[in-house]
Amino acid sequence: MKDYKKLFGRYWGYCESDIPMCWGCNQAVAVDIHHLISKGMGGVKNNRLNKIDNLFAVCRSCHTLAHKNKAVNEEFKKILKEKIFIKEAVYE
């Protein structure tokens, strides 16, 4: 399992066998972890984009849509920000 997937799972409390619902459409199983700020084809040094505030669980359709439509990706950023705010408010 890739490091960013492990990081995502630990933060959100998922086991390796857990598969969350897509955070974009809330209708399909999330099969990918989307980097809201793209890693690009070659990746980035020191995995600097593998941070909780850049990782978003998506189904294949939403993942494709986020890469094609900047407005969708921006909406996903807002959703993630709210999820993190709620999680940290509950667990503080």
Q: How high is the pLDDT of residue 39?
A: 74
pLDDT tens digit at each of 92 positions of the chain: 688 899 999 999 998 788 899 999 999 999 999 999 987 645 556 567 889 999 999 999 999 999 999 999 999 999 999 999 999 888 76
Residue 7: which residues within 8 A CB-CB, separation 6 or more?
50, 51, 52, 55
Q: Which two tokens stand for residue 70?
A: 């900047």
